[in-house]
């Protein structure tokens, strides 16, 4: 029988609103090192210490393991605040810390005790593409592979190295999700500066794993997006009893990107407003932009897009929580179709936030092409985010229709 391991919560009386306020209070600090973080490929150790002390890596972490066990909504609100200061830095933080939810849903109590360790710090990027290989050996698996774009690896404790391997139930190989300690991997110096168009501070380096043994209980089948929730809940959920850990994944993975890009849109609106108070229109007769009908319309439209995106993110996060609570209290199924519906809201938020950033960049004038321009950095960041699988809007829409019409469905991430 396992010992009831418990790690002290750093600030037991901390509230969600205080957590969000901390993130808002870091705008200047995060923004002050944005250019340096882009060059380095990740934010500084000093900022990482500030994030840790603020509790950002523990927002959705179970209290048993030293976390605050706040809501997904709180997590997304924090991401929007940090992204408003620098989207690349927020992407780094988010795509490292969010996978707490899947680990606490699908991995056993023993595995969770081991990965949270003595102090409860856990951060683990997840590359969903099964480009690695998991070879079955006595007691576990040997993992080999090379995963590009491991966003969040900068300060990770583990890496979820999705690999093809033998199905524990027999039959053809399936994607597996091994939890590999970062101390056992090689992180290539191939991110930051001119290695990408945008999101240069996101720590999206390539990770190489060579002949690393991972014990069997640190490897789970990777079917999280489409797994059926058993009546008793997944095994990780049974450790905590909180419906946040039921493992529904589509809303979370798309919601991260939606929150991050909404933060970028917020940033662009604030910067555009500042510029309107300082600059004149380009064509004669020049007038202050604050008096320009065109600029007022562009700003108003972008603000409307941004506020709509934020409303969708919050509504979907609350819907995710409500469906989990209904499953817990009334046994009402929380289906993949439910998760897909909420993913649709997050997808629309991504579309709206991207449109806002692009509109403000394109109408801001040529000075915004300068490297130090906030509008330029946000534009590069959303353009880079568009290459992520969540930007495949048509495929997601097709999948949703197929699901509702009872047609064969192919996975889209």
Question: What strands, in cross-sheet order, belong to the sheet with 126-137?
Answer: 186-187, 207-215, 140-147, 126-137, 158-165, 174-181, 219-221
pLDDT at 160: 98
4 pLDDT higher than 60 = no
Assess contact for 383 and 197: CB atoms under 8 A: yes
The arithmetic mean of pLDDT across residues 91-105, rounded, is 97
The arithmetic mean of pLDDT across residues 251-255, rounded, is 97
Mean pLDDT over each residue of the chain, to the nearest integer: 95
* H-assigned helices in 117-249: 237-240
Q: Name the architecture of domain 250-405.
A: Up-down Bundle (1.20)
Domain 16-116 annotated CATH 3.40.50.720: no
HEC letters along 34-45:
HHHHHHHCECCH
Reduce the DSSP state of residue 65 to 3 states and report it.
strand
pLDDT at 339: 97
Q: How many percent of the chain have pLDDT more than 90? A: 92
The arithmetic mean of pLDDT across residues 125-150, rounded, is 97
Question: Matching CATH topology for 16-116 and 250-405?
Answer: no
pLDDT at 371: 86
The arithmetic mean of pLDDT across residues 98-104, rounded, is 97
- What number does CATH give the domain 126-223? 2.40.110.10
pLDDT at 1: 43
Reduce the DSSP state of residue 326 to 3 states and report it.
helix
Please give the Cα distance from 379 to 272 (Å, whole number).
Answer: 13
pLDDT at 282: 85
* H-assigned helices in 68-137: 72-85, 87-97, 100-106, 109-116
Please give the Cα distance from 55 to 63 (Å, whole number).
Answer: 12
Reduce the DSSP state of residue 246 to 3 states and report it.
coil
The arithmetic mean of pLDDT across residues 56-69, rounded, is 98
Q: Where are the domains of the chain?
A: 16-116, 126-223, 250-405
88 alpha carbon, distance to own chain's centre: 11
pLDDT at 211: 98
> Structure pTM?
0.96
Question: What is the DSSP pairing of strand 140-147 with strand 158-165?
Answer: unpaired
Q: How many percent of the chain have pLDDT more than 70? A: 98
Instruction: Write out pLDDT tens, residues 367-402.
Output: 899 988 999 999 999 999 999 999 999 999 999 999
In Å, the largest CA–CA distance within the chain is 80
Contacts of 298 (CB under 8 A, 6+ apart): 272, 359, 360, 363
Please give the Cα distance from 9 to 238 (Å, whole number).
Answer: 21
The neighbouring-strand residues paired with 134 are 143
pLDDT tier for residue 197 given thresholds of 50, 70 and 90: very high
pLDDT at 412: 64
77 pLDDT higher than 80 = yes
Instruction: Write out pLDDT tens, residues 294-351.
Output: 999 999 999 999 999 999 999 999 999 999 999 999 999 999 999 999 999 999 999 9
CB burial of residue 4 (10 Å; 0-12, 13-18, 19+): exposed
**Could you tell me what percentage of the chain is helix, strand and coil, using 3-state DSSP and rounding each to the nearest 5?**
55, 15, 35
Selection from 270, 263, 271 nearest residue 382 by Cα: 263
pLDDT at 236: 94
Please give the Cα distance from 153 to 124 (Å, whole number).
Answer: 7
134 pLDDT higher than 80 = yes
Please give the Cα distance from 111 to 158 (Å, whole number).
Answer: 12
């Amino acid at each position: 029988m396992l010992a009831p391991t418990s790690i002290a919560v750093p600030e037991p009386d901390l509230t969600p609103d205080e957590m969000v306020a901390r993130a808002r209070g870091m705008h200047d600090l995060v923004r002050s090192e944005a250019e340096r973080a882009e060059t380095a490929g990740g934010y500084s150790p000093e900022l990482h210490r500030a994030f840790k002390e603020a509790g950002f890596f523990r927002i959705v972490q179970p209290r048993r393991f030293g976390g605050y066990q706040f809501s997904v909504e709180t997590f997304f609100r924090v991401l929007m605040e940090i992204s408003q200061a620098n989207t690349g830095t927020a992407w780094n933080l988010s795509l490292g810390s969010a996978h707490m939810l899947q680990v606490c849903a699908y991995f056993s109590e023993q595995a969770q005790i081991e990965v949270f360790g003595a102090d409860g710090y856990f951060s683990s990027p997840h590359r969903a593409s099964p480009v690695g290989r998991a070879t079955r050996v006595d007691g576990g698996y040997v993992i080999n592979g090379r995963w590009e774009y491991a966003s969040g690896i900068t300060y990770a404790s583990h890496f979820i190295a999705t690999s093809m391997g033998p199905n524990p139930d027999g039959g053809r190989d399936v994607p597996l999700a091994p939890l590999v300690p970062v101390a056992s991997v090689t992180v290539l110096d191939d991110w930051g500066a001119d290695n990408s168009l945008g999101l240069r501070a996101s720590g999206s380096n390539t990770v190489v794993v060579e002949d690393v043994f991972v014990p069997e209980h640190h490897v789970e089948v990777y079917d999280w997006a489409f797994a059926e929730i058993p009546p008793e809940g997944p095994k990780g959920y049974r450790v905590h009893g909180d419906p946040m850990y039921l493992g529904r994944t589509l809303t979370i993975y798309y919601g991260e990107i939606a929150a991050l890009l909404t933060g970028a849109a917020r940033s662009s609106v604030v910067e555009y407003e500042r510029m309107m108070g300082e600059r004149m229109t380009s064509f004669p007769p020049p007038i202050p932009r604050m008096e320009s009908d065109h600029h007022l319309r562009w700003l108003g439209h972008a603000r409307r897009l941004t506020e709509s995106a934020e409303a969708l993110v919050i509504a979907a996060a609350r819907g995710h929580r409500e469906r989990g609570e209904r499953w817990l209290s009334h046994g009402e199924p929380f289906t993949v179709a439910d998760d897909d519906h909420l993913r649709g809201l997050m997808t629309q938020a991504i579309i709206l936030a991207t449109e806002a950033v692009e509109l403000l960049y394109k109408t801001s004038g040529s000075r915004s092409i300068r490297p130090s321009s906030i509008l330029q950095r946000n534009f590069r960041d959303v353009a880079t985010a568009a290459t992520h699988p969540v930007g495949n809007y048509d495929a997601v829409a097709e999948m949703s229709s197929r699901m509702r019409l009872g047609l064969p469905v192919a996975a889209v991430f």
